[in-house]
Structure 1
Amino acid sequence: MNEIIAGIKIPDSRLAREATQLVRDTEPDLLYHHSRRVFLFGALAGERKQLKYDAELLYIGAMFHDMGLTPAYSSPHDRFEVDGANAARTFLHQHGIGESDIEQVWDAIALHTTPGIPQHKKPVVALVTAGVEMDVLGLAYDQFTDDQRRLVVAAHPREVNFKEGIIDAFTQGTINKPESTFGNVKADVLALKDPNYRRLNFCSIILGSAWNDQPHDHASCRNPAHAHG
C-alpha cells in the first residue's frame, strides 16, 4: 500500500522496507521519527527546487543518517556521520546496489553536518542535508507551507521538547569519542553538555606541530669549497 505524506510518496521497495525495519529496530522513537521527517522535508525541498533525485536513495540516506549515534553502529573513533555512512554502505552492498549510488548515499550521510558543501553536490546529498537543517535547525522553515509542516509532523510527531532531546542524542553518540568532534558542529554539543570537554583549537595545533619554521643558520649550510673564498 502506497503511503503518501504531504504529497510525498514513501518508497515502498523491498530495499526501502528493509531499511525502515532495520532503523525501527535500532533507533529510539525520537531518531526514527526525525529520520522520516528528514526524508519528507528533503523531498519537499527537492520538489520546490525542481531537482531530479532518486527518491529511494534519498530515503536510505535520510533513514541511516543518524545510525552512527546508536551503540550498535558506533565505532570507537570515527565521526558518527561516517559510522552511519558506513552502515548504509554495508546495507546497500548486501542488496546489490551499484557503487555510484552507494557513493551518493555515503556522501549524503557523511556530509550532513558539514555546512556549505552538500548543496553543491548531487541532489540526494543536498536534500538529506536540507531535510536535516529544516528539522533540527529550522532553516528554510517559512519556505514550507503550514500544511506541509502540519502533515509531516502529524505523521511523525516531534516529541515534547524535541530540541533538547536531539541534543541529548548527539551527546550520547559523541561523548565517548570527543576527538571526533574536532572541526565540526558536534563540538558545540559537547561544549554545552560535557563539563569535562575541552575543545581542540586548530591554530594551537598548527603552532604546536613538530615543524620547525624558525630561520636557519644559512652560513652553516654554505658550500665548504667556498667557505674561505
Structure 2
Amino acid sequence: MTTIAGIQIPDSMMAREATQLVRDTETELLYHHSRRVFLFGSLAGARKQLKYDPELLYIGAMFHDMGLVAPYSSEHDRFEVDGANAARDFLQRHGIGEDDIEQVWNSIALHTTPGIPQYMKPVVALVTAGVEMDVLGLAYDEFTEHQRHEVIHAHPRGAHFKEGIIDAFAHGTIHKPETTFGNVKADVLALKDPHYHRENFCTMILGSSWKD
C-alpha cells in the first residue's frame, strides 16, 4: 500500500479500478490534481480528528472533476453533477450502499459551492477542503512544509498548474455556459470565452413573468 505524507492510498480492488479509470479518462493534470485533493483532504481530516471512510473520500476525490471530460460531460447538467452521477454509477456497480453513495455524490456535487460542505459529513467536507487547498491555497499554512513537499513530490503540480486548471475548467464548461450561472465557473468563462454573457440574478427577477 502506497503511503504519501503519512496518508495511505486506498488499495482495494474498487480503489484501483477508480484510479485506472481516471488515468484512462482524464489528463495527467487532472489525475495528479485529484490525487492531491485526496491527500490534502485526508491530511485536513487527520488534523481535525474526523472519522470517515478513506475509500469513500478517495472515490469522491478521484471523480470530482470527471464531469469535465468525455464521455461523462453531459449537454445540460453542471459538470459537478456529471461527476457525481459518474461516481454514483461506479459505486452502484460495486454494491456500495445508498447512504455511502449519497455522501460521495454530495461531496462531488457541492465541491465548488463555498460555505456549505464544511457543515456536512466528513467525506463531503474533506473533498472540498482538498480542492480548496490545491486550487486556491486555502489553509495553506495549516499544512506543514514537509506535508506539502511530500504531496507535490508524489503528484507534481508542474510549472503552470494555475493556468492549466483554469483551462481545464473552461474546456469542460464552455459548451454549456448556462450551467455556470450562480457558481464559480462563471468566472472561468468570463476570463476564457470572449463571447460569454454572464447571467444576472437581479435581471432575471426583474424580467420575470410576474406583474408586480
- TM-score relative to the length of structure 2: 0.99
Counterparts of 1:62-211 in structure 2, within 5 Å, are 62-211=61-210
Return the offset for 1:71.
Answer: 1.7
Return the offset for 1:124.
Answer: 0.1
Return the offset for 1:167.
Answer: 0.1
- What's the counterpart of residue 41 of structure 2? 42
Task: For 1:58 and 1:71, locate their aligned partners in 2 and report how far apart those are by CA, in whole Å.
Answer: 23
- What's the counterpart of residue 8 of structure 1? 7
Task: For 2:62 and 2:94, locate their aligned partners in 1 and report how far apart those are by CA, in whole Å.
Answer: 16
Task: For 1:71 and 1:165, locate their aligned partners in 2 and report how far apart those are by CA, in whole Å.
Answer: 18
- What's the counterpart of residue 17 of structure 1? 16
Letter in 1 for 2:163: E
Return the offset for 1:48.
Answer: 0.4
Larger radius of gyration: 1
Deviations 1:62-94 (A, max 9, x none): 000000000210000100000000000000000
Q: What's the RMSD between the two structures over aligned residues?
A: 0.4
Task: For 1:174 and 1:122, locate their aligned partners in 2 and report how far apart those are by CA, in whole Å.
Answer: 28
Identity, % of aligned positions? 79
Deviations 1:21-59 (A, max 9, x none): 101100000000000000000000000011101100000
- TM-score relative to the length of structure 1: 0.92
Q: How many residues were matched structurally? A: 212
Letter in 2 for 1:58: L
Task: For 1:195 and 1:28, locate their aligned partners in 2 and report how far apart those are by CA, in whole Å.
Answer: 25
Q: Secondary structure at the match of 1:212?
A: coil
Q: Secondary structure at the match of 1:160?
A: coil
- What's the counterpart of residue 54 of structure 1? 53
Return the offset for 1:160.
Answer: 1.3
Task: For 2:158 and 2:210, locate their aligned partners in 1 and report how far apart those are by CA, in whole Å.
Answer: 50
- What's the counterpart of residue 226 of structure 1? none
Divergent runs of 4+, >4 A: none
Give ranges in structure 2 of 5+ residues lacking alignment: none
